[in-house]
Amino acid sequence: MKEYNISISEENLEIKKIQEGYLNGFHIKNKGINYKGSVVTFGGSEGSSYYDMAKVIANNGYEVLSLYFFGQDNQPKELKRIPIEFFSNAIAYIKEHFLSLHPLTIVGASKGAELSLLLAEYYNEIDNLILIAPSSYRFQGLDIINNTSSWTFNGEDLPYIDFKNISIFEKIKINLQYTFMLPVKLKSYYDSAIKNYKDIESTRIKVEKFKGNILMLLGKEDGMWNSYSMAQKIREAKPDNTEIVAYENVGHAFGLDRVTGRYFIGGQSDLNKIALTKSCEKILDTLEIWYGVYAIS
């Protein structure tokens, strides 16, 4: 593996803030672009655009669109009923402002990985996916009291796993965690939702419709949801050109402590931080393989 620049420094970057209707985020590129094509990044339920990852990728010569999908102007304020057709606007922006659209890679983390996989089901413009702590299903939005889909298409809710049928034991357990200010452990909560949902296949993202490359990176001790099991389900549905990199003793979010804020991320804090560096290197190594023939001489 060659050496890469994994700095998030902005010193050599050109960064343009974007606010065009639903599109909110950043157009980021190195002052010297090394590759044709585009990369789009999405963060998770924290509401980020995966900005730091976008800068790492841009610092290695790629042109990047780092996007929010909720919480900004002209977007839903909460992660629920996100209209996935907003991605058509992202494609239009790239065609107008980037050196080229293809190859087009989406990099998404956690809930952003769920979105990225879903977009690949609907948009054949997407060539590659890099999914960090992925989901193979569509889950409900983050409004736990009012069950709604995370995603819509043409104004219709897409089928989703709701939290109505979670076991009583899991509901009591999570209520106690919130009440007594204990670290909130969501993995078994999501496991119960999957196990008890009657029409689970209707909520599975149909990854087999996607013909491109997939790289999935995750921690085997993911404390938020079972990304390891769901990554395997994704590969079962699409075995060709699909790779899983699973880090031992690592949790849901690379670079974060075992417990972050109110939530149990899982893994060991020191190994989570090491996994951040390793995953960045793996992502850049994979992009080099995918984009190498598009290098600008």
Name the pTM for this structure. 0.96
What pLDDT score does 1 carry? 58
The residues, ordered by sequence, that sit 6+ positions from 163 with a Cβ below 8 Å of its Cβ are 140, 144, 147, 189, 193
Q: What is the mean pLDDT of each run of 10 residues along the chain (297 residues)?
A: 85 96 97 95 96 97 98 95 97 97 98 98 98 97 82 96 93 93 94 95 98 98 98 98 98 96 95 97 97 91
What structural domains and CATH numbers belong to the chain? 13-160+205-294 (3.40.50.1820)
Q: Where are the beta strands (DSSP E) in 31-96?
A: 38-42, 64-67, 82-83
Identify how many contiguous H helices and E strands the chain contains and give both numbers: 7, 13
User: What's the chain's Rg over C-alpha atoms?
Assistant: 18
